[in-house]
């Protein structure tokens, strides 16, 4: 009716349109209640005065339509929701496809840059007169194989970065062979950092770990080499044999003794987990002897004491496994005492203070498990005090925040144990 009225007279005043619309409403509550009200509004239109009727808005019309046609309204809403869902999925798929395309293009550009780098490596090796022909061809073939892999479309950014670093590692081996040890060391340090980032991101590269370890050791980078070896537990035995041979050749080198002790500690922990307690004890005692020898050879370096304290803490685990509480207490006290001496010798180095906090906390947990609650609480208080100092020294270290969470949990366990003991 309203649309016909509008079409019939386009110049119909808006006020008159509103009055007629109200008069024609189906709902009695929305119509004029009396003829007098209708007449008054018509007179107001003629006199150009405000009318009492109000135009029905779009939302109100929609609400009324929904009330009159609930089934049709429900169907319309379902269709609208379906259209939005399909549209949303389409947009998401397009977005994902676009991201994948951009990522693929970036990986391709990265590959092109790395392939060019490999060409430069090959040129460097080809023009070096000091390298024997067979060795030169071996390096070049290894680089070309990686180049060919880089041309594959299925590689991810991590794959590409890994291959690029392998190429640089081949270059390290070449420079080492050509007598440029300093250049080889610098490049090896750089790529080892990249390998560590890849490893932490979950990239598997166990086959390369031991090669990196050996190369670092050959170039005199003991600590870096040990870090590379740690990436692959299955190389511990091989690494032990390798470093043992180096130590036998030069027992006066504190780095060899220290690295040897570190590897034996890792092997000892593996043996404890496998319930090979006797072998673990023998291995850890050997690690302790080597760590003390490294300290004797290099007393000015407080970090040499770390493997001494660590070996004592692991021997405490062995004693606990065997049920020898007296020996376990002795080992824990030795670990804490050694770490405290190390911290004092290092003038309160915050990273060494972390070791002190850890040993105190671990001994506190041990005492709690033995139901020695007063000792457990006292040790935890000491650990908390050391952590306060650590946080003041290095507020950026996440260890302080992590310890606070562990401290709350441990104090709750001690309180629960006290409550249980008192109730019994």
Is the C-alpha dihedral spanning 154, 159, 163, 166 positive or negative?
A: negative
Residues 6+ apart with CB under 8 A from 172: 184, 187, 188, 191, 215
C-alpha to C-alpha distance for 194 and 197, rounded to whole angstroms: 5
Final residue of a domain: which of 20, 42, 68?
A: 68
Query: Is residue 379 one of the residues assigned to a domain?
Result: no
Backbone angles phi, psi at 273, to 5 degrees: -65, -30
The tokens describing 141, both together, are 């073939």
State residue 362's pLDDT score: 94
C-alpha to C-alpha distance for 211 and 110, rounded to whole angstroms: 26
Alpha carbon of 161 to those of 95, 106, 151: distances in Å? 25, 12, 13
C-alpha to C-alpha distance for 237 and 59, rounded to whole angstroms: 78
Query: Is residue 36 one of the residues assigned to a domain?
Result: yes
Instruction: Give the distance from CA 336 to its chain's centroid.
Output: 30
DSSP output for 333-353: HHHHHHHHHHHHHTTS-HHHH
Strands (E), 161-305: none
C-alpha to C-alpha distance for 41 and 47, rounded to whole angstroms: 10
| Greatest extent of the chain over all pairs of C-alpha atoms, in Å | 119
The tokens describing 85, both together, are 């869902």
Query: Is residue 25 one of the residues assigned to a domain?
Result: yes
Q: For the chain, how many helices (H) and strands (E)?
A: 18, 0
State residue 3's pLDDT score: 47
Domain span including residue 146: 103-201
Query: Is residue 107 one of the residues assigned to a domain?
Result: yes
C-alpha to C-alpha distance for 234 and 241, rounded to whole angstroms: 13
Q: Are residue 46 and residue 136 in the same domain, yes or no?
A: no
Instruction: Residue 222: count other Cβ atoms within 10 Å of its Cβ.
Output: 19
The CA R_g of the chain, rounded to the nearest whole Å, is 39
C-alpha to C-alpha distance for 293 and 306, rounded to whole angstroms: 13
Final residue of a domain: which of 21, 47, 68?
A: 68
Which residue positions in the chain have pLDDT lower than 50?
1-8
State residue 1's pLDDT score: 42
Q: Are residue 144 and residue 62 in the same domain, yes or no?
A: no
- SS3 category, 27: coil
What domain count does the chain have?
A: 2
State residue 207's pLDDT score: 61
Q: Are residue 110 and residue 53 in the same domain, yes or no?
A: no
Q: Are residue 60 and residue 123 in the same domain, yes or no?
A: no
Q: Are residue 37 and residue 127 in the same domain, yes or no?
A: no
Query: Is residue 79 one of the residues assigned to a domain?
Result: no
Shortest CA distance to 384 belongs to which of 407, 351, 412, 354?
407
Query: Is residue 78 one of the residues assigned to a domain?
Result: no
Q: Are residue 55 and residue 128 in the same domain, yes or no?
A: no
Q: Are residue 63 and residue 116 in the same domain, yes or no?
A: no
Q: Are residue 114 and residue 45 in the same domain, yes or no?
A: no
Query: Is residue 42 one of the residues assigned to a domain?
Result: yes
Query: Is residue 336 one of the residues assigned to a domain?
Result: no
How crowded is the C-beta side of 364, counted as CA atoms within 13 Å? Answer: 23
Q: 225-281 pLDDT, tens per residue?
A: 666 555 555 667 777 887 888 888 888 888 888 888 888 988 898 889 888 889 999
Alpha carbon of 42 to those of 2, 10, 35, 136: distances in Å? 17, 19, 11, 105
Final residue of a domain: which of 68, 89, 111?
A: 68
DSSP output for 122-168: HHHHHT-TTS-HHHHHHHHHHHHHHHHHHT-TT--HHHHHHHHHHHH
C-alpha to C-alpha distance for 396 and 155, rounded to whole angstroms: 37
């Amino acid at each position: 009716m309203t649309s016909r009225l509008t079409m019939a007279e386009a110049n119909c005043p808006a006020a008159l349109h509103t009055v007629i619309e109200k008069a024609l409403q189906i709902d009695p509550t929305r119509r004029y209640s009396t003829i007098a009200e209708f007449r008054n509004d018509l007179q107001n239109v003629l006199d150009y005065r405000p009318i009492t009727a109000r135009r029905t808005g779009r939302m109100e019309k929609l609400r009324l339509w929904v009330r009159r046609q609930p089934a049709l309204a429900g169907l319309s809403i379902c269709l609208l929701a379906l259209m939005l869902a399909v549209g949303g999925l389409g947009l998401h798929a397009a977005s994902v496809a676009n991201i994948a395309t951009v990522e693929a293009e970036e990986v391709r550009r990265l590959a092109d840059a790395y392939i060019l780098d490999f060409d430069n490596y090959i040129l460097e090796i080809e023009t070096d007169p000091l390298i024997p022909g067979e060795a030169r061809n071996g390096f070049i073939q290894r680089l070309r194989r990686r180049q060919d892999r880089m041309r594959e479309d299925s590689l991810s950014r991590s794959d590409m970065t890994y291959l690029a670093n392998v190429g640089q590692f081949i270059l390290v081996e070449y420079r080492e062979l050509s007598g440029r040890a300093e250049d080889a060391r610098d490049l090896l340090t750089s790529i080892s950092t990249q390998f560590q980032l890849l490893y932490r991101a979950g990239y598997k590269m166990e086959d390369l770990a031991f090669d990196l370890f050996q190369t670092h050791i050959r170039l005199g980078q003991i600590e870096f080499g040990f870090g590379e070896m740690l990436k692959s537990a299955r190389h511990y035995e091989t690494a032990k044999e390798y470093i043992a041979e180096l130590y036998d050749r030069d027992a006066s080198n504190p780095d060899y003794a220290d690295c040897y002790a570190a590897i034996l500690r890792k092997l000892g922990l593996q043996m404890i987990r496998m319930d090979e307690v006797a072998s673990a004890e023998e291995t850890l005692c050997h690690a302790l002897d080597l760590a003390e020898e490294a300290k004797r050879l290099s007393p000015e370096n407080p970090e040499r004491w770390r493997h001494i304290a660590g070996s004592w803490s692991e021997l405490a685990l062995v004693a606990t496994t065997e049920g020898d509480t007296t020996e376990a207490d002795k080992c824990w006290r030795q670990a804490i005492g050694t770490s405290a001496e190390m911290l004092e010798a290092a003038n309160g180095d915050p990273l060494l203070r972390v070791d002190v906090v850890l040993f105190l906390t671990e001994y506190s947990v041990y005492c709690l498990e033995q139901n020695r609650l007063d000792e457990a609480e006292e040790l935890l208080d000491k650990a908390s005090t050391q952590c306060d100092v650590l946080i003041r020294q290095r507020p950026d270290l996440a260890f302080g925040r992590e310890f606070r969470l562990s401290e709350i949990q441990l104090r709750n366990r001690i309180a629960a144990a006290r409550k249980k003991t008192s109730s019994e």
